[in-house]
Amino acid sequence: MEEKVDPAEVRVQGLRDALVRVADELEAPGTIVVGDLLARVRGAWEGVAEGDLGPDEAMIAAQFEAMFGRLGELAGSHPGPVPTSALGLPADARFLRDMATFLTRRYGLVDA
């Protein structure tokens, strides 16, 4: 008997996996284009459908919106490549990693 996979779980897992990949990139030495970073995180967030995150959705959305606002300002003032160690990007990596951990635990996801 084949087990049905909840589409919401697949979408939340996709978000979590994308956050881990971006956090990994931000924690590595090198440079990143903030606008590209913003687009990748925003795209991952937009892949989650309304209701997928249940009662935590508003709180999670508020945190992402704050991040999008900050990264949007940075992208506007720093359009080219910047070091991953600059502009508070290490804190963004921690936020993404913490959010990925939260999603894993809260929604019972299989570790990435």
Domain containing 47 equals: 30-106
**Average pLDDT taken over every residue of the chain:** 94
pLDDT of residue 4: 81
Domain assignment present for 16: no
Domain assignment present for 63: yes
- Written as six digits, the tokens of 101 are 């951990």
Domain assignment present for 18: no
Name the helix (H) or strand (E) containing 61. helix 57-77
Domain assignment present for 53: yes
Mean pLDDT is lowest, of 77-81, 82-86, 106-110, for: 106-110
The model's pLDDT over 43-75, given as tens digits with 9 standing for 90+, comes to: 999 999 999 999 999 999 999 999 999 999 999
pLDDT band at 2 (very low <50, low <70, confident <90, very high): low
CA distance 80 to 94: 22
**What's the domain count of the chain?**
1
25: region left, alpha or beta (phi > 0 left; psi from -120 to 50 alpha): alpha
